[in-house]
């Protein structure tokens, strides 16, 4: 794993690789007491000819810097972030699965590790990256997602931190997820906090709605996380000739939708078979020729080197 530290008044300078293992924290560390922490996620893939590719790591770096500013934290530069990811992947390259069998998931963390008893920014920070091999999130033949719209819980509210990848966004959704899964659903689709009628996102991925040649996704407004996969799919969809809109999407818009799908680093692009809202189950096309499969095929092709990268999205590191 890769570790780099700095104090509140300094900038990050040099980090180092060390054996994966536990880290020591003060009981009064800012991350433990006040949740001052940010996470990221990206993947490294092995190509058929043996190369190792990262996918748009500078986008993850930029998102961490944006989140760090919101959470009153210093952050690595984009160059430091990308270089650290490269070092971590190269040090763990024996764990990268063969082509088509999975990826090396890379998890950067930015943590307030300095001791602070009062509510204030921590005096010291740690940037840490570790990695783990992962199989494909959804194997061939896996049933599409069946989502549940929970009207009791919301994921984020205006003025909050829903638009940044802070660790504090994730534990609060666990109860809603557990409750939904106990009822046989795959995950929860959250509505806006003000009106409880507009789609925002699923617990850990963005949502898209397809109607004919139009692909819509909730606009970035401070409560929706700007996913790197989301951003990439929007551009790929335009390249494929689809009309793309980032807008407010009402629950009522789901009734006439042809397809719904989710995007994220972990899930890639996952079709949604149904969404249940107020005891009403709305079903969508999830077999045959799907828009989401078309887009996912291009995304994976770029990530794994099967499709020529004319956009400069991939970074070769060996």
Kindly report, residue by residue over 132-186, the tens digit of the pLDDT: 999 866 544 467 999 999 999 999 999 999 999 999 999 999 999 999 999 999 9
Q: How many CA atoms lie within 13 A of 164 on its CB side?
A: 23
Residue intervals of the chain classified under CATH 3.30.470.10 are 2-135
User: What's the pTM value of the predicted model, to 2 decimals?
Assistant: 0.95
What pLDDT is stored for residue 135 in this prediction? 85
Residue ranges for the chain with pLDDT beneath 50: 139-141
What pLDDT is stored for residue 12 in this prediction? 96
pLDDT digits (tens, 9 = 90+) for 269-302: 999 999 999 989 999 999 889 999 999 999 999 9
Distance CA 143, CA 164 (A): 30
What pLDDT is stored for residue 100 in this prediction? 87
* 304-308-314 Cα angle (round to 5): 55
Residue intervals of the chain classified under CATH 3.20.10.10 are 145-304
What pLDDT is stored for residue 138 in this prediction? 52
What pLDDT is stored for residue 240 in this prediction? 98
Asked about 175 being catalytic, the answer comes back as no
Contact, 240 vs 294, CB < 8 A?
yes
What pLDDT is stored for residue 9 in this prediction? 85
What pLDDT is stored for residue 143 in this prediction? 76
What pLDDT is stored for residue 142 in this prediction? 63
Asked if CATH classification 3.40.50.300 holds for the domain at 145-304, the reply, yes or no, is no
Q: What contacts 1, CB < 8 A, 6 or more positions away?
A: 17, 18, 19, 20, 21, 88, 128, 129, 130, 131
What pLDDT is stored for residue 140 in this prediction? 46
Which one of the listed residues 43, 86, 165, 285 is annotated catalytic?
A: 165
Which residue, 208, 218, 191, 196, is CA-closest to 267? Answer: 208
Contact, 240 vs 302, CB < 8 A?
no
Distance CA 168, CA 42 (A): 19
Q: Which CATH class is domain 2-135?
A: alpha beta
Which residue, 283, 47, 267, is CA-closest to 135? Answer: 267
């Amino acid at each position: 794993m890769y570790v780099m530290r700095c104090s509140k008044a300094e900038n990050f300078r040099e980090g180092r690789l060390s054996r994966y293992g536990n880290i020591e924290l003060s009981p009064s560390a800012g991350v433990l007491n006040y949740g001052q922490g940010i996470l990221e996620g990206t993947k490294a893939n092995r190509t058929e000819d043996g190369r190792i590719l990262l996918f748009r790591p500078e986008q993850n770096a930029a998102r961490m810097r944006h989140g760090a500013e919101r959470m009153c934290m210093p952050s690595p530069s984009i160059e430091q972030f990308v270089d650290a990811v490269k070092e971590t992947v190269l040090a763990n390259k024996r764990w990268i699965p063969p082509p088509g069998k999975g990826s090396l998931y890379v998890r950067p963390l930015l943590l307030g590790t300095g001791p602070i008893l009062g509510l204030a920014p921590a005096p010291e920070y740690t940037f840490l990256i570790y990695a783990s091999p992962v199989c494909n999130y959804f194997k061939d033949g896996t049933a599409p997602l069946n989502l549940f719209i929970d009207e009791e819980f919301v994921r984020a509210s205006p003025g909050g931190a829903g638009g940044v990848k802070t660790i504090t966004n994730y534990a609060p959704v666990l109860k809603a997820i557990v409750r939904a899964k106990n009822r046989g659903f795959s995950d929860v689709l959250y509505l806006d906090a003000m009106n409880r009628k507009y789609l925002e996102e699923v617990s850990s991925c963005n949502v898209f709605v397809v109607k004919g040649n139009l692909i819509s996704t909730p606009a970035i407004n401070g409560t929706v996380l700007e996913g790197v996969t989301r951003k990439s799919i929007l551009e790929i969809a335009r390249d494929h000739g689809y009309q793309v809109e980032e807008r407010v999407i009402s629950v009522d818009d789901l009734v006439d939708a042809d397809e719904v799908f989710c995007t994220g680093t972990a899930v890639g692009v996952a079709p949604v078979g149904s969404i249940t809202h107020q005891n009403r189950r709305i079903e969508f096309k999830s077999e045959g020729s799907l828009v989401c499969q078309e887009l996912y095929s291009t995304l994976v092709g770029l990530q794994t080197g099967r499709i020529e990268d004319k956009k400069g999205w991939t970074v070769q590191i060996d």
